[in-house]
Amino acid sequence: MDDCIIIGAGPAGLTAAIYLARFHLSIRLFDCGSSRAALIARTHNHAGYPGGIKGIDLLALMQKQAEEFHAVREQVKVAAIDIDGEGFVVRANGKAFPTRTVLLATGVVNTRPDMPRDEHDAALARGLIRYCPICDGYEVTDKRVGVIGTGDHGMREALFLRGFTKDVTLIAPGAAHDLDEACHAKLDDAGIAHVDGPCAAIAIDGDQMKIDTAAGTLRFDSIYPALGSVIRSELAVAAGARATSEGCLEVDDHQRTSVRGLFAAGDVVKGLDQISHAMGEAGVAATAIRNLLAERAPLRR
């Protein structure tokens, strides 16, 4: 039986693997290979990397560091987490893996705009499509920016980006905006244009992105889809863990879910979706896991 199975090998999962392996615990690191961090063209606000670092390179370095302590990432898609006494059974690839604790670090999946995947990925790599204004708002300073979204969520993203550039346009993904009077007032006060959709023919046009809207074809230096995301918390929820209405797992100050022995860290937990934040949560979770196991039986070499 393992001491801990970590599900997800993004920044949170890999950080937890490093900590737990260095605590001399027996662990498994299961991952289906779809970390959102791998899509980051280059992060400039993750401390310690002057000039920035590609998301895929950061993950590779973290994985190499985990392997120094014999924590190996296994390409496995987990089907279920079953409670078994004080521990769990993780089911994957038709096999059962008993474990004393589980750490869920499965993250989220961004909802993408309606466009071919290969063109979307090419635009993402060039910074023509961006998803995190906290991460890369600096890179669109004084540029022409389009935000695809509506309602309170779309408005808040547009207002956040207004702190970097005065040229922000909020575009409805559907035929018309869903904006109440308060949203209209805030957008108008900030000088943010808002045009109806539907967004169509979203495509790369030289060094810009072009979008067909009710106001005609618009071009932007970067676009931000503010279309929400899918929180990958279903494994924990099925095991009985509490989650918010959006699907984010509820945890305490030690990253413990409502199921004893089941922990969560990173974007699957409600909070700031940032690499540094996910890594900090993982360190807290790993230490709490170590202490929980020590309460059950002394950890000795």
- Quote the pTM value: 0.93
What is the residue whose two structure tokens read 């807290």? 284
Locus of tokens 């863990």: 241
pLDDT digits (tens, 9 = 90+) for 231-241: 999 999 999 99
* Structure-token pair, residue 116: 């071919």
Q: Give the containing element (helix H, strand E) for 22.
A: helix 11-22
Burial class for 252, CB neighbours closer than 10 Å (0-12, 13-18, 19+): exposed
Using alpha carbons, list the distances in angstroms from residue 240 to 115, 234, 256, 287.
37, 10, 13, 23
pLDDT higher than 90, residue 19: yes
Domain with CATH 3.50.50.60 in the chain: 2-109+229-296, 112-225
Strands 27-31 and 2-7: parallel
Q: How would residue 270 be classed by pLDDT, with cut points 50, 70 and 90?
A: confident
Residue keyed to tokens 């959709």: 197
What residues have CB less than 8 Å from 236, skipping those under 6 apart?
81, 104, 243, 249, 257, 259, 262, 264, 268
- Which of 3.30.200.20, 2.60.120.10, 3.30.9.10, 3.50.50.60 would CATH assign to domain 2-109+229-296? 3.50.50.60
Which tens digit of pLDDT belongs to each residue from 70-121?
Answer: 998 999 999 999 999 999 999 999 999 999 999 999 999 999 999 999 999 9
Q: Is the pLDDT of residue 258 over 90?
A: yes
Enumerate residues 6+ apart whose C-beta is below 8 A from 245.
none
C-beta separation of 233 from 240 below 8 A = no
What mean pLDDT do residues 33-61 have?
Answer: 93
- CATH annotation of 112-225: 3.50.50.60
